[in-house]
Amino acid sequence: MEFPWYSVVVPLFVFLFFLHNCLFAIFNNNKRLPPSPRKLPIIGNLHQLGLHPHRSLHKLSEKYGPVMLLHLGSKPVVVASSVDAARDILKTHDLVWSTRPKSSIGDGLFYGSKGVASSNYSEYWRQVRSVMVLQLLSNKRVQSFRDIREEEVSNMIDEIRKRCTSSSNSVIDMRDVLSCMTSNIISRVTIGRTYNEGETGIAVKGLIEELLALFGTFNIGDYIPWLIWLNKINGLDNREKKVAKDLDAFLDSVIEERLVRNNKEKYRTGEAKDFVDVLLEIQNGKETGFPLQRDSLKAILLDSFIGGVDSMYTTLEWIMIELLRNPRAMEKLQNEVRGLVQGKAEITEDDLGNMQYLKAVIKETLRLNPPFPIPIPRESMEDVKLLNYDIPAKTQVLINVWAIGRDPLLWDEPEEYQPERFLNSDIDFRGLNFELIPFGAGRRGCPGIPFSIVIIELALARLVHKFNFTLPQGMKKEDLDMSECTGISIRRKLPLLAVATPKPVLIASSVDAARDIMKTHDLVWSNRPKFSITDKLFYGSKDVAFSPYGRRGCPGIAFAVVVIELALARLVHKFNFSLPKPEELDTNY
Ligand code: HEM
């Protein structure tokens, strides 16, 4: 008599599951493990992750506490959702938690996990991280890319202006212009030029988006290894192979192009080196004592694309969303920026230091909407304590940065958007204050902070300086659909559409216009615009020139003219004047 296959397989699974649980309980008897939600056979707690793990895990942590032990398939995973737990992992026991778990995506797309972000804690990781930090992300290098940043941000402003004038309703896809700006900056500093779609038959932007989507896709093989064959059926394997192949072809073409150019123009001088140049220079290891294989070089280049482009434009898009939902914050920001740079045509990076409200807006946005709500996982390299719990070696940890950012024990009215909370506060996101860690912290913390923050500050300052933004006609802020996409980096599902109106400035250049303003309608035009700098320097604009009302012609004419007349008459009476050499007269003012 024949038995159907499942009459053997199902009881076998059930038996193995209970055996595993019994052995686990006996083995961990003396250990104080964190509380765990009930798990199912085989999949463990996978079903509780949902589409948006930062939200589902936040809910679970409200029931089970700030440190929970889950089982994702057969992998033990600790979830940390409080500032104390984050400090314990990222500071007290940072070294123990400094490696990354093995991931098939890291292996398949980053040349066997050879990138900075994907490689495990090792001498190799130390070397490639130091190459990336010193050659691309150090303060000195970041300073040297200033012209590129300012130019690309100006290009973005011009593009928005062009779109405003070319369409009747001037609705701008903010994601589109922001992502174009950040990817242009990243590609110019890494490969020396922007990549145009399809130039090599490869649509790079789409590939990077697909790579990020794959990063955020659940890979069953990482959690239930014996089910890895499912990736062949659900198409994940094929997607991964295709992206890896196309990106590899793109990176190879970049390197080959550079090698050919360098052979032709060996003695190029005066041109700033990009990251590819530097990597090729140090590839043989003569300077660093550490030769770089071509695969490592490509993995590091890929890291800078992945680390940079997406996170920066996602942050900027969240900032614009929050400002459109909070017009009071937008107005305060515009007053600060416009006031501080009054009279200047263009904001430069030198102006950013005084923009305290702008910095507070960025922090508040990163508190509520960290682009990576649960950053790249880490893994314990040995048994370790986490608060009072015992965590075995080889346990993964997920830190719920999103949950920490809205913990009512840390923040007043945590769901409210209030940049003011950062105005008189020392809390910063550079990895010392564990209540605000959108860039992670510790040894594996993001090395791209100086690089990204100056871009975000400059782009934001110029945007709100040059334009007034509103939601498209008829749309109220309550109508804004705030559903999120899925994946490792979280954006709004739909790109932000906003109406941009160039800040209105009338320019009068004729005698009739001048007469109209200064005589016919003198009273109407007698106010000064509000400038925060004059408010600050002139005791709340209490002087004559800046006070809000008064007929504006200069009252000092008689005084000034008699001084000028007398000085001029005496000068030409007493002396003859000539130029030292006529051609030395510099007429540039
Ligand atoms: C707003 C912008 C950015 C945000 C929010 C961000 C966030 C993060 C986070 C949360 C991590 C994980 C940290 C951890 O495990 O503790 C990380 C790692 C990393 N980021 Fe960023 N990042 C940003 C920009 C950049 C830029 C511009 C680059 C490079 C061009 C970059 C390169 C990296 C690299 C290489 C790592 C891996 C570090 C390691 O494992 O040693 N990031 N980033």
Please give the number of the atom of ligand 1 that sits closest to the Cα of 372: 10
Count of alpha carbons within 13 angstroms of residue 213, beta-carbon side: 12
Average pLDDT score over residue span 166-194: 88
Nearest CA to ligand 1 atom 11: 446
Calpha distance 447→428 (Å, rounded):
15
Q: Which residues contact 171 (CB under 8 A, 6 or more apart)?
A: 472, 497, 498, 499
With respect to residue 263, please indicate whether it lies within any of the assigned structural domains.
Answer: yes
Distance 456 CA to ligand 1 centre (A): 15
The pLDDT value recorded for residue 513 is 83
Give the closest residue to 369 by CA, choosing from 436, 423, 287, 430: 436
Average pLDDT score over residue span 1-20: 61
Calpha distance 125→104 (Å, rounded):
18
Calpha distance 99→93 (Å, rounded):
12
The pLDDT value recorded for residue 374 is 96
With a cut of 90, say whether residue 61 has pLDDT above it.
yes
Report the relative pairing of strands 467-470 and 378-379 from DSSP bridges.
Answer: unpaired
Calpha distance 431→428 (Å, rounded):
8
Q: Which two tokens stand for residue 428?
A: 């910063």
List the beta bridge partners of residue 79: 68, 398
Distance 116 CA to ligand 1 centre (A): 10
Q: Is 404 in contact with 387 (CB distance < 8 Å)?
A: no
- Name the region of 192 (left: φ>0; alpha: ψ -120 to 50; beta: rest): left
With respect to residue 175, please indicate whether it lies within any of the assigned structural domains.
Answer: yes
With a cut of 60, say whether residue 79 has pLDDT above it.
yes
How does residue 479 score in pLDDT terms, banded at 50, 70 and 90? confident
Nearest CA to ligand 1 atom 32: 307
Please give the number of the atom of ligand 1 that sits closest to the Cα of 129: 41
With respect to residue 255, please indicate whether it lies within any of the assigned structural domains.
Answer: yes
With respect to residue 446, please indicate whether it lies within any of the assigned structural domains.
Answer: yes
The pLDDT value recorded for residue 406 is 97
| Portion of the chain with pLDDT greater than 70, in percent | 87
Output the CA angle 318-322-323, nearest 5 degrees: 115
Please give the number of the atom of ligand 1 that sits closest to the Cα of 442: 16
Give the domain extent around 375.
107-508
pLDDT higher at 481 or 13 = 481
DSSP string, 259-307: HHHHHH-TT--SPPP-HHHHHHHHTTSTTTS----HHHHHHHHHHHHHH
DSSP string, 140-208: HHHHHTHHHHHHHHHHHHHHHHHHHHHSSS-EEEHHHHHHHHHHHHHHHHHHSSPPPTTTTS--HHHHH
pLDDT higher at 409 or 478 = 409
The pLDDT value recorded for residue 583 is 63
Give the closest residue to 208 by CA, choosing from 192, 231, 190, 222: 190
With a cut of 90, say whether residue 285 has pLDDT above it.
no
What CATH number has the domain bearing residue 140?
1.10.630.10
Q: Is 364 in contact with 422 (CB distance < 8 Å)?
A: yes
Q: Cα dist. 59→53, 64, 74, 382 in Å? A: 10, 9, 22, 29
ipTM over 0.95: yes
The length of the chain in residues reads: 589
pLDDT higher at 520 or 431 = 431
How does residue 63 score in pLDDT terms, banded at 50, 70 and 90? very high
Average pLDDT score over residue span 170-186: 93
The pLDDT value recorded for residue 532 is 47
pLDDT tens digits for range 355-382: 999 999 999 999 999 999 999 999 999 9
The pLDDT value recorded for residue 80 is 98
With a cut of 90, say whether residue 446 has pLDDT above it.
yes
Would you say the CB of residue 303 lies under 6 angstroms from ligand 1? yes
Q: How many CB atoms neighbour CB 6 within 10 A?
A: 9
Distance 399 CA to ligand 1 centre (A): 15
Q: How many CB atoms neighbour CB 454 within 10 A?
A: 18
Nearest CA to ligand 1 atom 7: 439
With respect to residue 470, please indicate whether it lies within any of the assigned structural domains.
Answer: yes
Distance 371 CA to ligand 1 centre (A): 10
List the beta bridge partners of residue 397: 78, 378
Give the closest residue to 526 by CA, choosing from 502, 550, 503: 550
Nearest CA to ligand 1 atom 37: 117
The pLDDT value recorded for residue 261 is 81
With a cut of 90, say whether residue 21 has pLDDT above it.
no
Average pLDDT score over residue span 230-257: 91
Q: Side chain identity at 21, as an amino acid letter?
A: N
The pLDDT value recorded for residue 549 is 56
180 is in an annotated binding site: no
Phi, psi dihedrals of residue 501, rounded to the nearest 5°:
-115, 120
Give the pTM.
Answer: 0.82
Phi, psi dihedrals of residue 347, rounded to the nearest 5°:
-80, 135
Largest Cα–Cα separation, the chain: 130
The pLDDT value recorded for residue 455 is 97
Distance 513 CA to ligand 1 centre (A): 55
DSSP string, 424-461: T----SSSS-TT--TT--STTS-TTHHHHHHHHHHHHH
Calpha distance 492→313 (Å, rounded):
12
Of 14-23, 174-183, 237-246, the least confident: 14-23
The pLDDT value recorded for residue 195 is 73
Please give the number of the atom of ligand 1 that sits closest to the Cα of 100: 40
With respect to residue 335, please indicate whether it lies within any of the assigned structural domains.
Answer: yes
Output the CA angle 528-529-533, nearest 5 degrees: 105
Q: Which two tokens stand for residue 479?
A: 């109508």
Q: DSSP label at 384?
A: E
Three-state SS for 228-243 is: CCHHHHCCHHHHHHHH
Would you say the CB of residue 431 lies under 6 angstroms from ligand 1? no
Would you say the CB of residue 89 lies under 6 angstroms from ligand 1? no
The pLDDT value recorded for residue 386 is 97
The pLDDT value recorded for residue 439 is 97
The pLDDT value recorded for residue 310 is 87
Q: How many CB atoms neighbour CB 356 within 10 A?
A: 14
Calpha distance 323→360 (Å, rounded):
12
With respect to residue 56, please indicate whether it lies within any of the assigned structural domains.
Answer: no
Indicate the number of domains in the chain.
1
Report the relative pairing of strands 396-399 and 75-80 from DSSP bridges.
Answer: parallel
Distance 43 CA to ligand 1 centre (A): 30
Q: Which two tokens stand for residue 19?
A: 């055996």
pLDDT higher at 259 or 203 = 259
With a cut of 80, say whether residue 19 has pLDDT above it.
no
The pLDDT value recorded for residue 64 is 97
The whole-chain average pLDDT of the chain stands at: 88
Q: Is 400 in contact with 372 (CB distance < 8 Å)?
A: no
Average pLDDT score over residue span 126-139: 93
pLDDT tens digits for range 501-540: 987 666 677 888 888 888 888 877 776 665 545 655 677 6
Of 31-35, 83-87, 207-211, 447-451, the least confident: 207-211
3-state secondary structure of 484: strand
With respect to residue 405, please indicate whether it lies within any of the assigned structural domains.
Answer: yes
The pLDDT value recorded for residue 6 is 64
Would you say the CB of residue 376 lies under 6 angstroms from ligand 1? yes
